[in-house]
Structure formats: C-alpha cells, structure tokens
Amino acid sequence: MSQTWSRRGFTKALLAAGGAATVGLPFLESLAPRRAYAQGKPATRLIFFYVPNGIQAADFRPKAIGDAYAITPILKPLEALRADFSVISGLENAPGKPDGPGDHASGTSSFITCAHANKSETDIKLGMSADQIAAARLGKQTRLPSLELGIDGGSSAGGCDSGYGCAYTRNISWSGPSTPLPKMTNPQLVFDRLFTGYDPSASAAELAKRKAYKKSVLDLVLGDAQSLSTKLGKSDRVKLDEYLTGVRELETQIGSNMEEASCEPGTRPADKLPYAAHVKMMCDLMVMAMQCDVTRIFTFMIGNGLSGRTYPDLGITRGHHEISHHGMNPDNLAQLTKIATWEMEQLGYLLGKMKGIEDGPGSSVLYNSAVFLSSDISDGDRHNHDEMPVILAGHGGGALKPGRHIAYDRAKKSKVSNVLVSMLAAAGVDAPVGDSSGKNTDV
C-alpha cells in the first residue's frame, strides 16, 4: 500500500470516528461514564452555593468548637449529614466592603472572586472567580468547562445597588475583571444544554449496537494509523502518538461505558416551576451533570443579591431584604431563621443526593466533592463582611476534614479566599484567589 493511500485511508477512518462521535452517538460521547476519573482517581467536583442577605448568626453558628458541637436551629436540616460538612466561623471577606453604600452588590461580587468591585454602573471591574480559575485548569476534561445556574434572572446592565451595576448583584461567576458569566435560570434550557442529543426512547440493544459500532470505527482508526506510523518522519510520529493516546483513552471510555450503568438524565423538566420546585430541580440538574460527568464545576445562586423574595409557603409575606434589616426585632429574627433553615434544607437535599451516588469503591460523589456555601454579607442589619457564614461540605476526595465547627480568631482576620484556595487544591488546582495568602490546611 502506498504512503498516499495510507494517509487517505487514515483520514477517512478519522472522519468516520468523528462522525460517530458527533452524529451517531451524540449523548454517549458527550457524557462520560458515571464515574469521573482524573489522573487515575475519582475527580473532585466543585460547587459554589450562594444565598442572599446574610444568615442570622445566633441560630446558625454553633457555640462549641470541634466535632461535638450541638446542632443549631438553622443547621437542623443538615444533622444527618453532619459528618460531611463543617461550619466555619471567624472568616472575613474584606474585598466585599463597598466604597460607601452598596454592601449587597460589593459582597455578592466578592463572593468567590474575593476582589473589590469598582463602584460604577458602566465601568465594571472586578476579578476572576474561584470557579473560573478552576475551569481554566480543569474545564477541558469535560464537555462543559463549568455550569452557572440560578433562580432569579435579570440583565447585568444598569444600576442595582447605590451606584453599583447590576452585573455585581446578579452574577457570582467571572471569567475576567469585566466579564461576568450570566447564569441559566430556565430548567428546561439547562437540561437541553446538558443532554443535547439524548434519546430516551433508545432501547438497551440499540445503545449496545451504537457502542459496538463506535468501537469498530476506533479499531479501524488504530489499525490504519499504526500501519502508517512506520512511513512518517520523527515529528509526524510524535503528533500521531499524541493522537493515538487520545483514541486509546476514548476506547477505554467506551469499554467502561459497556460495563457500567448508562447515564440516565430522565425526563425533560418544565420551563417554569414554583420557587421551591425550581430550586430542587436545579439541584437535580447539578447532580445529573455530575453523574454524567458533563461538567465538574458549578455555581448556583438561590437568589440574586438584594433579594426581596417573599416566602408565603413559610408564612412570610414581606421581602427577605426588608426583613434582613431586623433591628433585633424578635419577629424579624424568627422569620430570618425560617428562611435560612429552608435554605439549609435545599443544601441538604443537594448533598444527600450527591452522597447517594456511588463514585468508586466505597466512595460517593459527595465524598469526592467540595461544596462552599456563603452569602454576600454576614448580618443584614450590620451589613458586615467579617464573621461570614460559611459551610464547607464534602471531603474533597480525602483532602478535606469535615464534621466540625472550625472557629478562627477574628483578630487574625482569616480570609474566605484561603478556604477557596483549599477547595481548588483539593481538585488539583494550585492557584491564588483574590486576596488569598495561601490555603487553610485545617479545613
């Protein structure tokens, strides 16, 4: 066989493989096996969960330090998971302090950027957020580098808080100083983005046939490429070897897919849901994306900064932001505790589903994840950015030590950003975040 014919045959096989990947089997190619691996071990997922208007400290923060603390009223929904999360107190997010009024915008924007927002409605300048720092390093390992989700929409244009642009109150994910990443709020569109090409009517036999066809195409690519290798120059052989490495990895994935349960995203959701159902659906979609390994990096805003949402199902008809200016009024404080307890129920729902998914021998998706929950401010009445309410859940694949109340000395001004650095390190990303000065090795 001539060299020209071999090259042509190789190219035809390559095109056939590409066709099988993007047309013949779009869902299976897009979605890796249920177990996601990075460098021979289960991959670590990163989730950044934002709640607005602070959290009522007296009913949130445990009094005792360590693993024997008494569960507080707000943390009660998480009690069954207490070995899987830590409460961290004494942290500050100093870059969230605004220039004059505007604590909600500056605090929301600094949530995981830990950067100081330029006070303007048009000249938007901030910093790169922790999720996008991770996505820049890890995003190529999955079909989507990251996923930005939320409940409340709204444009990033215009002003939303005392001279701060709406970009600061409606986004927590930033790929650059002037580039907020808009979140998706429609469950149906999120599903479509995650599972484009999924055919729920395909039988097991049809799926097996598609896998077998794809495997045979890859065998053709490997055979033709190996016969071509002896006729190439040194630099071309290096390039071919790199290509073949990728083909062999894909071949391994196909074999793994044949042995493991296929990814089943289930039924496409409605585009509009009541608030509580909307929140749960977004949590479900995150879990589906983890299980199918579409992406490993998530941000979720349960509400925008300055949220004035009412909670009629909880008997709360006044807006959340209004109530957060509690003035130590017992009725206001009781309603804030109700809202925060409900928010912890949603976090518990997410963590519980993650814990229920096997992710390697004796492990779970939650074990191989790091989940950060906090807010734009600490206390709604004081608008302070110290004593931030922080939960760090998951075990980070063994890198984190949950199950405790970790209390830092306020005088030492320990930083939220250092906890974020520790999260990224658990996922194999060694990088600073905002004003960080290192990682907290005791989390």
Residue with tokens 């009522």: 56
pLDDT band at residue 258 under the 50/70/90 scheme: very low
Mean pLDDT of 240-246: 60
Same domain, 208 and 308: no
CA 352, CA 354: separation in Å to the nearest integer?
5
Same domain, 123 and 193: yes
CA 143, CA 195: separation in Å to the nearest integer?
11
Q: Is the pLDDT of residue 382 over 80?
A: yes
What does the chain come to in residues? 443
Q: Residue 286: give its domain's CATH number.
A: 3.40.720
pTM for the model stands at: 0.81
Query: CB count, 10 Å around CB of 389?
Result: 23
Mean pLDDT of 137-146: 96
Mean pLDDT of 339-357: 98
- Tokens for 93, please give them: 């997010």
Instruction: Write the DSSP assignment of 325-380 as a string of letters.
Output: S-TT-HHHHHHHHHHHHHHHHHHHHHHHHHHTSB-STT-BTTTTEEEEEEES-S-T
- Predicted confidence (pLDDT) per residue in 65-84, tens digit: 999 999 999 999 999 999 99
Domain count within the chain? 2
Check if the beta carbon of residue 423 is closer than 8 Å to that of residue 431.
no
Same domain, 209 and 282: no
pLDDT at 33: 40
Same domain, 182 and 326: yes
pLDDT band at residue 185 under the 50/70/90 scheme: very high
In one-letter notation, the amino acid at residue 45 is R
Burial of 370 from C-beta contacts in 10 A (0-12 / 13-18 / 19+): buried
Same domain, 151 and 284: yes
- Tokens for 247, please give them: 């083909």
For the chain, count helices (H), then strands (E): 12, 15
- Predicted confidence (pLDDT) per residue in 421-430, tens digit: 999 999 999 9
Structural domain of residue 245, as residue ranges? 3-30+201-259
Instruction: Write the DSSP assignment of 79-100 as a string of letters.
Output: GGGGGGEEEEESEE-GGG--SS
Residue 106 falls inside a structural domain: yes
Q: Which of 236, 259, 282 marks a domain boundary? A: 259
**What does the DSSP 8-state code read for residue 397?**
G
Which is more confidently placed, 363 or 441?
A: 363
Same domain, 178 and 271: yes
Same domain, 255 and 338: no
CA 41, CA 441: separation in Å to the nearest integer?
21
Q: Is the pLDDT of residue 179 over 90?
A: yes
Same domain, 135 and 249: no
Same domain, 238 and 220: yes
pLDDT at 266: 82
Mean pLDDT of 40-57: 95
